[in-house]
A = this chain, B = another copy of it.
Amino acid sequence: MSNLKVLPLLEPEAPEAVVPCCPPLTERPFTAEEAERTARMFKALGDPVRLRLFSAVASHAGGEACVCDISDVGVSQPTVSHHLKKLREAGLLTSERRGTWVYYRVEPSVVAALGKMLGNLG
């Protein structure tokens, strides 16, 4: 009974159709469903530690960073892991294991959609 396991890869969360996202905020009132999907992303960015982690990944050379590169945010390592998981589940980050390290990068399409949704207000 050695390898019954079926590839317990990272991100088994299934980002639940997160991509199309949202109309501009000024176009019309959001429906309940649109608000539910969109709020999930804002909520993910609504924690200071997560925002620092996200910014650290987004600004890191090469567009990606391993956890060890960005873990210096003042909380324990399991807490960092927990927040990165939340960002993944919100569809804002993706992760990939290479050797000992796990690399995170931002999901560009989703973030661009968020920006567009807010940008038309200025």
A9 within 8 A of B: no
In A21-73, the 8 Å CB interface with B consists of: 25-30, 32, 35-36, 38-40, 42-52, 54-56, 58-59, 70, 73
CB closest residue in chain B, given A106: B121
A97 within 8 A of B: no
For A, the interface residue count at a CB cutoff of 8 angstroms equals 44
CB distance from A42 to the nearest CB of B (A): 4
CB distance from A62 to the nearest CB of B (A): 12
A18 within 8 A of B: no
A115 within 8 A of B: yes
Tell me the bound Cα distance from A45 to B50 in angstroms.
Answer: 15
Q: Is the CB of B122 within 8 A of A112?
A: yes
A108 within 8 A of B: yes
B contact residues around A40 at 8 Å (CB): 46
Given A115-B122, A121-B111, A122-B112: A39 and B45 within 8 A (CB)?
A: yes
13 additional A-B pairs beyond A25-B58, A25-B59, A38-B51, beta carbons within 8 Å, are: A27-B59, A30-B52, A35-B49, A35-B52, A39-B46, A39-B47, A42-B46, A46-B46, A108-B122, A112-B119, A116-B119, A118-B119, A119-B119
